[in-house]
Amino acid sequence: MLLFFFIIYSQDEIDDAVKLLLSLKVTYKTATGQEYKADSPPTDFTPISNSPDNVEGDDFVDPWTVQTSNAKGVDYDKLIVRFGSSKIDKDLINRIERITGHKPHHFLRRGIFFSHRDMNQILDAYEQKKPFYLYTGRGPSSEAMHVGHLIPFMFTKWLQETFNVPLVIQMTDDEKYLWKDLTIEKAYQYAIENIKDIIACGFDINKTFIFSDFSYMGTSLGFYKNIVKVQKHVTFNQVKGIFGFTDSDCIGKISFPAIQAAPSFSSSFPEIFNNRKDIQCLIPCAIDQDPYFRMTRDVAPRIGFPKPALLHSVFFPALQGAQTKMSASDPNSSIFLTDTPKQIKTKINKHAFSGGKDTVEEHRQYGGNCDVDVSYMYLTFFLEDDDRLEQIKQAYTSGALLTGELKKVLIETLQPLIAAHQQRRKQITDEMVKEFMTPRKLAFDY
Amino acid sequence: MLLFFFIIYSQDEIDDAVKLLLSLKVTYKTATGQEYKADSPPTDFTPISNSPDNVEGDDFVDPWTVQTSNAKGVDYDKLIVRFGSSKIDKDLINRIERITGHKPHHFLRRGIFFSHRDMNQILDAYEQKKPFYLYTGRGPSSEAMHVGHLIPFMFTKWLQETFNVPLVIQMTDDEKYLWKDLTIEKAYQYAIENIKDIIACGFDINKTFIFSDFSYMGTSLGFYKNIVKVQKHVTFNQVKGIFGFTDSDCIGKISFPAIQAAPSFSSSFPEIFNNRKDIQCLIPCAIDQDPYFRMTRDVAPRIGFPKPALLHSVFFPALQGAQTKMSASDPNSSIFLTDTPKQIKTKINKHAFSGGKDTVEEHRQYGGNCDVDVSYMYLTFFLEDDDRLEQIKQAYTSGALLTGELKKVLIETLQPLIAAHQQRRKQITDEMVKEFMTPRKLAFDY
């Protein structure tokens, strides 16, 4: 057909069309990181860089850096638009409640898990009694974990109990070795210490597999194969676009995204899933990890695997305020899981950024600002009682509740929570760690 | 001290010096692929590209392509200069004979293994009764191996017998999956078929470990750690310089060089070397593999391991001549290990490029040219008797021996050699393959 119409064009028109086509191909390559091929539809792969055009206000979000100049924290509505994910809305939360018969976790009710990809697919599968599994992880950059690190695990535990599904937890000790000034031995040791804190969150040993990359790689017949499959289908151009890697980065960093991608595929765990490769995965994580899984979702259909679904959480603020970077090397930037009741009290009283007014008189008159008050923010994470939280908000906003009193509520919430964690952690034996870390059949049949 | 002298320079001189310094830093980065850092000596890392400046004549050599327009083959003396390796000279060959008490292999006597790195270090170690081990490998790109593929294995077998040392053989099935249009299953199946041919070369099962990357990765506690160590110490800039990778290459290819590097370090085989990381490695390979090991030798001291030593062979010519690419998909480009006596005869008579003259009369008068005659070249590889080879050369050069007669010698050399190989291969059982591929203690104590 084309030839038929061709003859009615002049040579100039043809030249112009060819030029346009060539320029479109260049545009296509710039946008997708892939060469244009006729009859080959573009994948749904969307590289989202943090280049000035893409940074909303002063927010910057990638797996290594989260920055905002706003005391209320990152603008998550804008992040959803930028990342192309979906908001967890009332309808979705209601559906979860309806089909599981469980009251939605307060992280859902309060928008702490606020964004998702394909969660409705997971719920469809659940309704149809099709299996799925959970995957989350942690980069063990130090021995010390703080309360913010508990968020994904507390929520994952709830998901596991609510849906009764297997869970895999990846400790990226290889990532930490590549990115930090750490030996492999140290990174692995951190992984083991962190695993004890994770187990202390209360995961079911019969339904949970926890692995360090360094140790699992040498015992799994499925993991490395899936890593190489992903690595064959992602170019340097693509990871450059997604993660901002440069030519000076080591080849370990450049290929690492495939290692975080691979646990999204059930065949990475042949012992658990009986070599099935069709079991979908749901990943609860902080939204800074989304770039890894955007990449994973792009690759999945091309290597014959289902795309993982995602549930994204907001970031946990530093004691000093949402615009401050939390740092494991600064013990005052958060409450650590090893803190004593006295340390918790002192840290909160001394360092927790307050939305209160400068004097008691002013505070009584104008009230405090919960949107920027870190003690209040922390309570939204850890105080489960919705009514009490609402009372506190009203009282603080009206000025009836003083900053010192608000801090006291937080202290009295965190002290027993952390003491109980420490009690549970003490009971974790090396044998339990070993059992959690053994590739094995879990309490599910496939 | 610098500051003291600084004041005697004019502003212009300072500006010029700064410009010079900046340009030197750029030159440094271009040459080394690394940022210049004061007080940090450059590593001995020499990226050697095949850019026009570096290509001698029309020779092009990298791990995926060997090209020359010269019927005599690649100019190996120039390659030694370009790669910065050392010639295997009479002195070295004599030293090998003296300290081992074995007559040097005809591949050494005839310059088929012609280049080395640090072979004298290995001989020093041998004299001091310090252990070392051999490492060689193969990329299993098809089921069919040809006689040229035997060269490194025939020589490695001789080295193993002569020095009585352990040997590890890597099958890079992951590489073939990444570079070719192959499934992982197919690449692994090729690896197993190739392993049978390798075992049929006569390796000692008590002293030899053969592994496929896909299967060993999932059973070794040392391999992946060493891979990541290498990957942390090599940048994309460096692999770009050495291997010519581009931004459009997949991240699997970009990180693969570390996987070929890791077996150079004894701690990649904790089962064999009892977790020792100080045992040096000697790698016999065709010289196109040298880029991998230049990279490895650069990284080794930075991660606390000894540099591997190397012995480099020339390339095996295609039947059609040294300037023709051999191809597993063209059954007529070489003699395959599965060929029947009749196929061998037909292929050599029909396809082996001849250095003889057009007519018998001319040939008798002017003689043939052994330098370009493929049948003669093949005899240098497979006819062990030096005297007979020399007689043949003289007779062919003088014109006394006709092309058909020369081909007959080759046919009668290869037919029994391949028949014997086929006989030995038939006796390789699946159990033997499994035993060779099991990570285990070999017949050596560390």
ipTM for the complex shown: 0.87
Counting other chains too, the contacts that A339-345 makes at CB distance below 8 Å and 24 or more residues apart are A339/A418, A341/A415, A341/A418, A341/A419, A344/A411, A344/A414, A344/A415, A344/A418, A345/A411, A345/A415
pLDDT at B325 (0 to 100)? 67
Hey, is the C-beta of A233 within 8 angstroms of any chain B C-beta? yes
Is residue B204 within 8 Å of residue B164, measured between CB atoms?
A: no
**pLDDT at position B379 over 50:** yes
Query: Helix, strand, coil: what percent of chain A each, to 5?
Result: 55, 10, 35
**Closest Cα of chain A to B156: distance in Å?**
28
Residues of A in contact with B437 (CB under 8 A): none
Hey, is the C-beta of B225 within 8 angstroms of any chain A C-beta? yes
> CB B245 to CB A236 under 8 A?
yes
> CB B236 to CB A255 under 8 A?
no
**Closest Cα of chain B to A7: distance in Å?**
37
Q: Which residue of A has its CA nearest to B35?
A: A248
Nearest to B248 by CA among A34, A298, A292: A34
pLDDT at A68 (0 to 100)? 86
**Closest Cα of chain A to B373: distance in Å?**
41
pLDDT at B25 (0 to 100)? 52
pLDDT at B57 (0 to 100)? 62
pLDDT at A69 (0 to 100)? 86
**pLDDT at position B93 over 60:** yes
Nearest to B87 by CA among B95, B96, B97, B77: B77
Is residue B292 within 8 Å of residue A289, measured between CB atoms?
A: no
pLDDT at B53 (0 to 100)? 41
Q: A121 exposed, middle or buried (CB, 10 Å; 0-12, 13-18, 19+)?
A: middle
More confident call, A305 vs B35: A305
Kindly indicate the confidence band of residue B32, based on its pLDDT and cuts at 50, 70 and 90. very low
Residues of B in contact with A232 (CB under 8 A): 177-178, 250, 252
Nearest to A177 by CA among B170, B227, B437: B227
Instruction: Give A 414-443 residues with CB within 8 A of chain B.
Output: none
- Residue range B20-49: mean pLDDT, rounded: 47
pLDDT at A440 (0 to 100)? 96
Is residue B189 within 8 Å of residue B156, measured between CB atoms?
A: no
Residues of A in contact with B236 (CB under 8 A): 236, 245-251, 254
CB atoms within 10 A of CB B223: 27
Q: Which residue of B has its CA nearest to A269?
A: B218
Hey, is the C-beta of A235 within 8 angstroms of any chain B C-beta? yes
Hey, is the C-beta of A234 within 8 angstroms of any chain B C-beta? yes
pLDDT at A48 (0 to 100)? 53
**pLDDT at position B35 over 60:** no
Type of residue found at A271: E
**pLDDT at position B177 over 80:** yes
**Closest Cα of chain A to B200: distance in Å?**
27
**pLDDT at position B39 over 50:** no
B-interface mutation test, from A34, A186, A250, most B Cβ less than 10 A away: A250
Is residue A352 within 8 Å of residue A410, measured between CB atoms?
A: yes
Name the strands in the sheet holding A86-87, side by side, starting at the edge strand that comes first in the sequence: A86-87, A113-117, A309-313, A280-286, A132-138, A167-171, A208-212
Hey, is the C-beta of B143 within 8 angstroms of any chain A C-beta? no
pLDDT at B6 (0 to 100)? 32
pLDDT values of chain A reduced to their tens digit, one per residue, 446 residues = 333 333 334 445 445 555 555 555 544 444 444 444 444 444 444 455 454 444 556 688 888 888 888 888 889 999 999 999 999 999 999 999 999 999 999 999 999 999 999 999 999 999 999 999 999 999 999 988 999 999 999 999 999 999 999 999 999 999 999 999 999 999 999 999 999 999 999 999 999 999 999 999 999 989 999 999 999 999 999 999 999 999 999 999 999 999 999 999 999 999 999 999 999 999 999 999 999 999 999 999 999 999 999 999 999 999 999 877 676 678 889 999 999 999 999 999 999 999 999 999 999 999 999 999 999 999 999 999 999 999 999 999 999 999 999 999 999 999 999 999 999 999 999 999 999 999 999 999 98
Residues of B in contact with A217 (CB under 8 A): 217-218, 224
Q: Which residue of A has its CA nearest to B270?
A: A218
Torsional sign, CA A313, A314, A315, A320:
negative
Kindly indicate the confidence band of residue B399, based on its pLDDT and cuts at 50, 70 and 90. very high
Residues of A in contact with B267 (CB under 8 A): none
Q: Which residue of A has its CA nearest to B226?
A: A184
Nearest by CB: B231 against A219, A224, A255: A255
Q: What is the tens place of the pLDDT at every residue in B306-323?
A: 999 999 999 999 999 987
**pLDDT at position B2 over 70:** no
pLDDT at B48 (0 to 100)? 53
pLDDT at A352 (0 to 100)? 96
Q: What is the tens place of the pLDDT at every residue in B290-299?
A: 999 999 999 9
| CA contacts within 13 A on the Cβ side of B195 | 28
B-interface mutation test, from A228, A230, A243, A268, most B Cβ less than 10 A away: A228
B-interface mutation test, from A255, A267, A269, most B Cβ less than 10 A away: A255
Q: Which residue of B has its CA nearest to A237?
A: B247
> CB B222 to CB A219 under 8 A?
no
Q: Which residue of A has its CA nearest to B252?
A: A231
Number of CB pairs < 8 Å for A and B?
121
Nearest by CB: B225 against A184, A225, A245: A184
Chain centre to alpha carbon of residue A408: 30
* Residue partners of B317: CB distance under 8 A and separation at least 6: B73, B148, B324, B326, B374, B377, B378
pLDDT at B62 (0 to 100)? 87
Lowest mean pLDDT among A364-373, B46-55, B74-83, B251-260: B46-55
pLDDT at B324 (0 to 100)? 73
> CB A214 to CB B229 under 8 A?
no
pLDDT at A54 (0 to 100)? 46
Hey, is the C-beta of A295 within 8 angstroms of any chain B C-beta? no
> CB B218 to CB A222 under 8 A?
yes
Nearest by CB: A225 against B184, B222, B229: B184
Is residue B282 within 8 Å of residue B310, measured between CB atoms?
A: yes
Q: Which residue of A has its CA nearest to B33?
A: A248
Cα dihedral B385, B386, B391, B393 in deg (nearest 10): 110
Tokens for B273, please give them.
């070397």
> CB A251 to CB B236 under 8 A?
yes
Q: Which residue of A has its CA nearest to B220?
A: A218
**CA angle, B260 then A268 then B269, to 5°:** 35
| CA contacts within 13 A on the Cβ side of B360 | 3
- Residue range B133-138: mean pLDDT, rounded: 98
Question: What is d(CA A41, CA A35) in angstroms, rounded to the nearest whole number?
Answer: 11
